[in-house]
Chain A
Amino acid sequence: MSTDLGIWLSALLSLAAFSFLIKENKFYNIAESAFIGVGTGYAFVMAWSNIQSKGFGQIAQGDYLTIVPVLLGLCLFGKMSKSTAWIGRYPAAMLMGMGSAIAIRGAVQSELVRQIAATCVPLNSVNNIIVVVGTLATVSYFLFSMKSTGSQLSGGINALSKLGRWVMMVSFGAAFANATMQRCAQLIDRLRFLFEEWIYLIR
Chain B
Amino acid sequence: MGAAPNDNTGKKGISRQFMYLLTVLAILLPLVFPVGMPVSVTPWVEKGYQHVEKLNPGDKVLISFDYSASGAADIHPAAEAIFKHLMDKDVKVITVAFVAEGNRFPGMLMSAWEEQGKVYGEDFIHLGFLSGHETGLAALFADIPGAAPVDSRGNPVTSYPIMDGVKTVADCKMFIGLSGGNPGPQQYVRQLEPYQGVEIFTACTAAIAPTVEPYLASGQIVGLVGGLKGAAEYETVMGYAGKASANMDAQSFAHLLVIGFIVAGNIIHFTSKKNEGN
Q: A23-B3, A106-B193, A191-B24 are in contact. Are A180 and B74 (CB under 8 A)?
A: no
Partner of A53, one of B27, B70, B71, B150: B150
Complex: A50 Cα to B60 Cα, angstroms:
24
Contact B134 A57 (CB under 8 A): no
Query: Is the CB of A143 closer than 8 A to any CB of chain B?
Result: no
Interface SS of chain A: helix
Interface size on A, residues (CB 8 A): 53
Taken together as a complex, chains A and B put the C-alpha atoms of A47 and B1 apart, in Å, by 27
| Residues of chain B at interface, number, CB under 8 A | 59
Report the minimal beta-carbon distance from A181 to chain B, rounded to whole angstroms: 4
Tally A-B pairs: CB < 8 A: 147
Q: List the B side residues contacting A191 at CB < 8 Å.
A: 24, 27-28, 31, 250
Q: What CA separation (Å) do A131 and B131 show in the bound complex? A: 37
CB-CB < 8 A to B128: which residues of A?
46, 49, 53
Instruction: Verify A98–B135 contact, CB threshold 8 A.
Output: yes
Asked if A33 lies at the interface with its beta carbon under 8 angstroms from chain B, I say no
Q: Which of B251-278 contact A (CB under 8 A)?
A: 251, 254-255, 258
Q: Whole-angstrom distance between the alpha carbons of A62 and B102 in the complex?
A: 31
Interface: B210 (CB within 8 A): yes
Q: Are B3 and A42 in contact (CB under 8 A)?
A: no
Q: Least Cβ distance of A37 to chain B in Å?
A: 14
Q: Residues of B contacting A107 with CB < 8 Å? A: 190
Shortest C-beta distance, B211 to chain A (Å), equals 8
> In the complex, which residues of chain B have a beta carbon less than 8 angstroms from the beta carbon of A103?
134, 190
Q: Which residues of A contact B193 (CB under 8 A)?
A: 106, 109-110
Q: How far is the CB of B73 from chain A (nearest CB, A)?
A: 3
| Structural contact, A23 and B227, CB atoms closer than 8 A | no
List the A residue with the shortest CB-CB distance to B72: A189
Q: A184 contacts the other chain (Cβ, under 8 Å)?
A: yes
Interface string of B211-252 (1 = CB under 8 A from A): 000100111100000111100000000000000000100110
A20-B1, A43-B101, A53-B154 known; 5 other A-B pairs, CB under 8 Å?
A: A23-B6, A53-B149, A103-B190, A111-B189, A180-B255
Tell me the B residues contacting A by CB distance below 8 Å. Answer: 1-4, 6, 17, 20, 23-24, 27-28, 31-32, 70-74, 100-101, 103, 128-131, 134-135, 138, 148-150, 154, 186-187, 189-191, 193, 205-210, 214, 217-220, 226-229, 247, 250-251, 254-255, 258
